[in-house]
Chain A
Amino acid sequence: MRYLPHTTEDVAEMLAAVGAGSLEELFAAIPPECRRRAEMRLPEPLTEWELDAHIDRLAGRMATAPEAKVFVGAGSYDHHIPAAVGFLASRSEFVTSYTPYQPEVSQGTLQAVFEYQTLTARLLGLEVANASMYDGASALAEALLMAVRVTRRPRVALARAVHPLYRRVVETYLAPAGVEVRELAFGPTGATGAAAIGDAAELAAVAVQSPNFFGCIEDLPAIAQTAHAAGALCVAAFSEPLAFGLFKSPGRLGADIACGEGQSMGIPRSFGGPGLGMFATRMQHVRHMPGRLVGETTDVEGRRGFVLTLATREQHIRREKATSNICTNNSLCALTAAAFMACLGGSGLRELARLNYDRSEYLKARLRQAGVGLAFDAPTFNEFTAVFPPRFRDTYRRLLDRNIMAGLPLEPYYPELADHYLFGVTETMPREDMDALVREVQS
């Protein structure tokens, strides 16, 4: 086996030094009643080319662009990844190192994460961002637990227009902790009105997603104001951070915590994972924040360097009182996102966001012209909800047979939204494909 370098002589010499007669004897410390009685039954080992062929077969049974046309975002977006970003993110110095516990030999990862924290804080309009969480959903769950710690209140309000799968994760994290989750309905415009919050006096947080699951921009200033007036934190989730290249950032609009999915920032969709949990807050709350932090300092010669810091919040020191149990996070995805943001720059991010906005507005307008109804009239980014007559279900299935996914049916997630479909397009969707889609759904 090419990963195992030991020759028969090596093994013999090492066994002699250890004073063991055989490799099996090394396991004498395991009592016989704990030993496996039968060998593992696994497939025979594959050569590298056999493996190539096998994985090729599996990967070939997946619908991906350009053969498949997927007009769906819903938390996972098809953005162009520059070759330079893929190349840098595959540098094995970054890929095959561990968490930077020894800063003198980890300055590459540490500076890259410090830069990621900085760019993320700027993107989200807040003062401090952590080194990453697993994904947008777990970041939101951790944000709500953080709000409970900050305010010492046992209840949160969560908008129904937040990604339904994020809400499932929130429920998983919060239920055993005894935190009650109150749902905020969305209004006829597709956005969550501040009026839906009602009495916020007992709330730790009011959490919305903007742009929300339907692509609609929420009225964050009003929501933040209502939350703050009652002493609650405003938590702004997101699944498409590219929106902040065009729209005002959540921090600027009053969010105390902004958290969400960073997959859009140069990370392949990869059937949903790994993604990138982005998490930012105000400096006054930093000691309640989950996740790792990299900070700037100097070495004994006074030169700038970076270290993991404020570790007393974390599980290996504060154990059961830690702000989270997270240790391994999604560091390489954070580095990838930083390289992506660096390639785009401020000007590029703005232009890319505009191109995305243009395209979804184009598709929206074409569908409307074709007689398709739009469910909501709040302004949107990249995604919007269309309503079709029930007979469209047959068309939808026929299109699927041809590897065309004409939106995401919302009924499984929102029973009240039968025949509603969530559409999403990005800069990678050419106009002719959108035109073809419109023709298909018309027929």
Chain B
Amino acid sequence: MKEFPGAGGLILNEPLLWEQGRRGRSGYSLPRPDVARAEPPAELAGEGPDFPDLSEAEVVRHYIRLSQWNFSVDAGFYPLGSCTMKYNPKTNERQASRPGFAGAHPLLPAALCQGALELMAALECLLAEITGMDAVTLQPAAGAQGELAGMLIFHAYHRQQGRPRSKIIVPDTAHGTNPASAALCGYTAVPVASNERGVISPEAVASVMDAETAGIMVTNPNTLGLFEENIRAVAEIVHGRGGLVYGDGANMNAVLGQVHMGEIGVDVLHLNLHKTFSTPHGGGGPGAGPVCVRRRLEPFLPVPRVRYADGVYTFSDDYPLSIGKLQAFWGNMGNLVRAYSYILSLGAANLKRASQLAVLAANYIKERLKGVYHLPYDRPCMHECVFSDKLQQAHRVSTLDIAKRLMDYGYHPPTIYFPLVVPGAIMIEPTETESKETIDRFIEAMQAIAAEAEQSPDTLHQAPTRCRRRRLDETAAARKPRLTG
């Protein structure tokens, strides 16, 4: 009998912060007062917030116990589709925490922050070369803000052309953020259905692309893990009618060194450094979402931009067509240092190999699980593969049950019920940093769960049983929201 990672373990209970502590305790080393006490005006003074007082040891134990209730990619296989949960290299953490970067004030004059500016300029060049685009901004805080930047660039470009437009084409295989980002610029999303091969057809785009349409948002590879093979034809139609092509680069991990995004017609592309470029996701951020553009859109990039002249790096605000600013300062520097370190550690050949191995792993899982689970699009995939629960429905077992049962086996579930074009979708993205043994063991777990679905479906309905908590009542949480304690 093979042993899966999932096991019972000693999980310690831990109350909420304010259910412990005693007034008068402290976990903070206050500096010695060396100036006189000053009295603030009495009418402004408040009593301060009602926080619990805890000792340092209590705080440490609290968060250590909490940390042990979390699944993380450092602890186990995390095949969450579309999220690229690859290994987060530890050297990146060391580089980002260097006092020169971590301790730097953002408003230092250029002469006092040459190191950060040089790093930013170099990272922009690296990302431009990797994507095949011409200019890069590092400012967006996450992928969704990158999308917003992209839509603002569309908006500014069309206004400058003297012809503002009101609509944007969003295929059904796009990320949910796409329409929300477009709406912030006042665009109405025009949906386009993917064809029977799971990709966009040029005809469908031609039928809706008009002079009122600002362009199209394409995720390539798309959320089915398929390469949008008609992208050049689609781009030609959109460009021919005065529109622009937005590339959602969330799935860039599939095509490093394979595709030159500039040449296939993409005008604006965002990257998720916390996916493709190995910066940790932090349980929901911070991320970083640089945006790459073709030359003609460079004037619209957010300010300030890093410039280099006479051996000195400076920030410049002198871009009158710029969309403006997205964050108070310059971008999530900590993650920029990490991504820069990652790219320098790998180099061109290893980045390309990373994509090759990511695609190999996804195809390997697809082939080995085909037949065990329903595969709606049976063709070579890129970095992720999408199954469904169609075969298990006969036993009244759903995608949710399969996902929850995987936890008992010691795996984080794949992305489920997305993309929407596949009912009951199970979207698996293994990434290149998982060994063949890990992937084989996961495949065996998926096979064992499919067998359980037939023989003892209730085991799946009851799952998970080995986690800190069993299934939680999300309905009660939403009906009577309790958002603070």
Contact = CB atoms under 8 A, between A and B. Distances in A.
B27 A355 contact: no
Interface string A104-140: 1111110111110111011101011101101111100
Contacts of A215: none
Contacts, number: 691
B310 interface: no
A114 B59 contact: no
Nearest to B226: A29
Contact of A320 (B183, B227, B367, B403): B183
A195 interface: no
Given A37-B260, A90-B93, A315-B177, A62 B104 contact: yes
Given A55-B341, A345-B21, A5 B481 contact: no
Contact of A29 (B63, B95, B180, B227): B227
Contacts of A187: none
Size category of the binding interface on chain B: 35 or more
Nearest to A36: B260
Contact of A271 (B28, B33, B101): B101
A46 B344 contact: yes
A320 B107 contact: no
Nearest to B353: A4
A295 B478 contact: yes
Contact of A245 (B48, B52, B260, B325): B48
Given A271-B113, A299-B469, A328-B285, A169 B333 contact: no
A13 B177 contact: no
Contacts of B402: none
A322 B31 CA distance: 46
A240 B97 CA distance: 23
Interface string A298-320: 11110101110110100111111
A13 B281 CA distance: 32
Nearest to A10: B436
Interface in B211-267: 226-227, 229, 231-232, 255-260, 263-264
Nearest to B149: A172
A252 B44 CA distance: 11
B8 interface: no
Contacts of A353: 48
Residue among B62, B356, B379, B469 with most chain A CB within 10 A: B469
B438 to A, nearest CB: 8
Interface in A332-369: 332-333, 335, 338-339, 341-355, 357-359, 361-362
A98 B284 contact: yes
A134 to B, nearest CB: 4
B347 interface: yes
Given A104-B464, A299-B470, A361-B38, A346 B53 contact: yes
A20 interface: yes
A84 interface: yes
Contact of B66 (A1, A112, A119, A326): A112
B423 interface: no
Nearest to B347: A45
Given A34-B229, A62-B100, A348-B27, A297 B145 contact: no
Residue of A24, A269, A408 ringed by the most chain B CB atoms within 10 A: A269
Given A52-B94, A105-B467, A325 B144 contact: yes
Chain B CB within 10 Å, residue with most, of A1, A62, A100: A62
A301 B473 CA distance: 10
Interface stretch (A152-160, A387-395, A426-434): A426-434
Given A296-B485, A346-B53, A176 B152 contact: yes
Nearest to A327: B144
B350 A345 contact: no
A3 B342 CA distance: 10
B176 A272 contact: no
A333 B286 contact: yes
A76 B27 CA distance: 23
B329 A328 contact: no
A247 B45 contact: yes
B132 A36 contact: yes
B436 A13 contact: yes
Contacts of B329: 75-76, 135, 165, 271-273, 275
Contacts of A166: 328
Contacts of B155: 176
A99 B284 contact: yes
A330 interface: yes
B368 to A, nearest CB: 6
B23 interface: yes
B351 A42 contact: yes
Contacts of B232: 31, 33-34
A58 B184 contact: no
A14 interface: yes
Given A97-B70, A299-B471, A56 B357 contact: no
A203 to B, nearest CB: 21
Contacts of A418: none
Interface stretch (B202-210, B290-298, B358-366): B358-366
A58 B99 CA distance: 11
Contacts of A18: 360, 363-364, 367
Given A319-B179, A328-B281, A273 B334 contact: yes
B16 A111 contact: yes
A26 B74 contact: no
A347 B436 contact: no
A64 B100 contact: yes
A199 interface: no
Given A115-B485, A316-B176, A172 B348 contact: no
B332 A273 contact: yes
A75 B328 CA distance: 9
B69 interface: yes
A271 B330 contact: yes
Interface string B280-307: 1111111100000000000000100000
A113 B284 CA distance: 10
A330 B183 contact: no
Contacts of B24: 347
A65 B103 CA distance: 7
A329 interface: yes
A201 B326 CA distance: 29
B99 A64 contact: yes
Given A20-B363, A296-B477, 19 more contacts: A3-B345, A34-B231, A42-B343, A45-B346, A75-B329, A88-B64, A92-B75, A98-B85, A131-B284, A270-B102, A274-B335, A297-B473, A309-B478, A325-B177, A328-B281, A333-B286, A352-B30, A405-B105, A405-B108
The list of the 10 closest CB pairs from A to B, nearest first, reads A272-B329, A59-B100, A272-B106, A332-B282, A331-B284, A45-B347, A172-B324, A61-B115, A274-B286, A345-B53
13 contacts: A31-B229, A40-B129, A46-B344, A58-B100, A97-B78, A136-B328, A138-B141, A176-B186, A269-B104, A293-B481, A327-B144, A332-B286, A427-B31
